[in-house]
Chains A and B, each alone.
Chain A
């Protein structure tokens, strides 16, 4: 995980609806959980060593690839800068992080990486974005590069 990937601003981290619900809590150093039962359940899930706080190693151990591209970086969640996440910080950060935005960002980042790996810079013009022979149109991609609509299952 590169330092750049980890440094996401709090403004980019919090989805607008989550922000609306959590109000000012989300962007301030979190003091106490607003939803205690939820925060407790979250802590029990994420705290691997049982010390009732979550350090960066524990956090990144659980994060899916690309998870910080659209939010969810440890530094953004650690609002008091203590180096650990409390129940309140976990709650405020994870509930306010827009999960769909994160997934789309991660997918876009992954496709960009694939594109970079497949196409050397000196190659000729590529096909249309999204076409089977165009950038991002891998066998399983189903979507082309360039922000095609999200793919849905049934």
Chain B
């Protein structure tokens, strides 16, 4: 650096110091919501993953408030984000299917902030958050990076947006998203086998094809399964609904070609997923350093969450859209306040992702639209009590399932569309053929099935009331 350039820098620094000392204009407040698509809660260190699995998230949890029992309201990207943005259950927005969107005029977190004069932007990795699906309400800028892409694309774009927004006078909100943890878990090529370096089995042949992961059921891989005959609303090839039913039949048919998955195969698949989570964490590390260098962490609220988890054959399936379980709905939720205020707290109460929007509006002292059904937990973030709300988290799936959990027990009711009168009737009657109940305290894959008839009626009543949208009985 030349002497004159050095002098300019020194003068600029002195001016900055003077401005701060004299109480000069504070930078506008900021809010960053980061959605790490498909990141299950137990894939991160603070919630049970081994040390070194997610060093950045471990650090952020030490600087923020970690909600240990946060649940998504759906097990797929589109309905879950619709619920997150609107603070409503997916079925309250419309039929829970591939066409689910945010109805025009429905208040969202972004639209509420925009109405209050905030600058709002989103950088998403397309796919099921593509603009055409209509989840962009309230975002003044909605940038679609590469479809089904990585933080590698969205983090730099997000930082670019952030730099522009911070140059203005208005407060701002950025939503940032990636699919790093989504099937086929092969984005980090050079780290691919780091969880299982000795693996040489047949799963190496399928790791680049997402549909191969959909051809697995009950520890079998069906190489001749006719997968991928449907296209969804954004034109992506997806597994046809009947494919799942076909596998449940084929699994018991000896004449059908199927490859048994060994323990080593399963460990490799789970290792791939864990490595994908690690790769996402690396990019969060890049983002974190860039935010820190800009001073963003001093004046902004940062939220990190996931829209759903992932089933890794614990319940028979790969991917996340087959069943409503802890593995597919229990997600990370960390809120870091400016300067890391109150950092390191762990909240044990059950919360839902629909609580996020009212909580963030509450933190800013902004009005919370009446349509928002979640609980404002801003007092909890400021060190107050974290109770309130039903103490039960609800989730809904496209394939005619609803589920409720109190963090210890989970009840799932199936056989009718979520939100339909037929489903409500099933929940009211608790038809044994349609209801399943588990003890989930031992973790995903170790659930213990319970007999509904002999289980604590008060607890069942609470889960049932939550599914019916009623308060505690």
Please give the residue numbers on chain A whose beta carbons come within 8 Å of chain B beta carbons, in ascending order.
15, 17-18, 20-21, 35, 37-38, 41-42, 44-46, 48, 59, 61-67, 71-72, 77, 93-95, 97-100, 102-103, 106-107, 110, 139-143, 149-154
Chain B residues contacting A143 (CB-CB under 8 Å) are 228, 237
Chain A residues contacting B213 (CB-CB under 8 Å) are 153
Query: For chain B residues 163-212, which have a beta carbon within 8 Å of chain A?
Result: 180, 182-184, 186-194, 197, 204-212
- Minimum C-beta distance from B294 to chain A (A): 13
Distance between Cα atoms of A48 and B195 in the complex (Å): 11
A140-B236 contact given A17-B153, A94-B188, A103-B186, CB 8 Å threshold: no
A152-B236 contact given A21-B156, A46-B191, A140-B227, CB 8 Å threshold: yes
Distance between Cα atoms of A30 and B464 in the complex (Å): 59
Q: List 21 A-B contacts (CB under 8 A).
A: A21-B156, A35-B289, A41-B285, A45-B52, A62-B194, A67-B190, A95-B283, A98-B152, A100-B146, A100-B148, A100-B150, A102-B189, A139-B225, A140-B206, A140-B211, A140-B224, A141-B211, A149-B237, A150-B236, A151-B211, A152-B232
A154-B152 contact given A45-B278, A103-B184, CB 8 Å threshold: no
Residue of B nearest to A142 (CB): B228
Contact of B148 among A67, A98, A150 (CB under 8 A): A150
Contact A151 B228 (CB under 8 A): yes
Residue of A nearest to B285 (CB): A38
Chain B residues contacting A142 (CB-CB under 8 Å) are 209, 211, 227-228, 237
Distance between Cα atoms of A149 and B321 in the complex (Å): 22
Contact of A154 among B186, B235, B239 (CB under 8 A): B239
Q: Mark B220-232 against chain A: 1 for CB-CB distance below 8 A, else 0.
A: 0001111110001
Chain B residues contacting A37 (CB-CB under 8 Å) are 55-56, 59, 285, 289
Chain B residues contacting A93 (CB-CB under 8 Å) are 190
Chain B residues contacting A64 (CB-CB under 8 Å) are 186, 189, 192-193, 204, 207-208
- Minimum C-beta distance from B316 to chain A (A): 17
- Minimum C-beta distance from B183 to chain A (A): 4
Distance between Cα atoms of A140 and B214 in the complex (Å): 9
Query: For chain B residues 261-312, which have a beta carbon within 8 Å of chain A?
Result: 278-279, 281-283, 285-286, 289
Contact A106 B152 (CB under 8 A): no
Contact A18 B152 (CB under 8 A): yes
Chain A residues contacting B224 (CB-CB under 8 Å) are 139-140
Distance between Cα atoms of A153 and B321 in the complex (Å): 9
Contact of B319 among A59, A66, A153 (CB under 8 A): A153
Please give the residue numbers on chain B whose beta carbons come within 8 Å of chain A beta carbons, in ascending order.
52, 55-56, 59, 76-77, 127-128, 145-150, 152-153, 155-157, 159, 180, 182-184, 186-194, 197, 204-215, 223-228, 232, 235-239, 278-279, 281-283, 285-286, 289, 319-321
| Listed residue (B180, B209, B281) with the most chain A CB atoms within 10 angstroms of its CB | B209
Q: A38-B289, A99-B189, A153-B213 are in contact. List 6 more A-B contacts (CB 8 A).
A: A17-B157, A62-B190, A64-B204, A106-B186, A107-B208, A140-B209
Residue of B nearest to A132 (CB): B226
A153-B214 contact given A38-B289, A41-B52, CB 8 Å threshold: yes
Please give me the 5 A-B residue pairs with the lowest Cβ-Cβ distance, nearest first. A142-B228, A64-B192, A67-B189, A99-B187, A152-B236
Distance between Cα atoms of A97 and B191 in the complex (Å): 12
A21-B189 contact given A139-B224, A154-B239, CB 8 Å threshold: no
Contact A152 B189 (CB under 8 A): no
- Minimum C-beta distance from A61 to chain B (A): 5
- Minimum C-beta distance from A145 to chain B (A): 13
A94-B190 contact given A37-B55, A140-B211, A153-B210, CB 8 Å threshold: yes
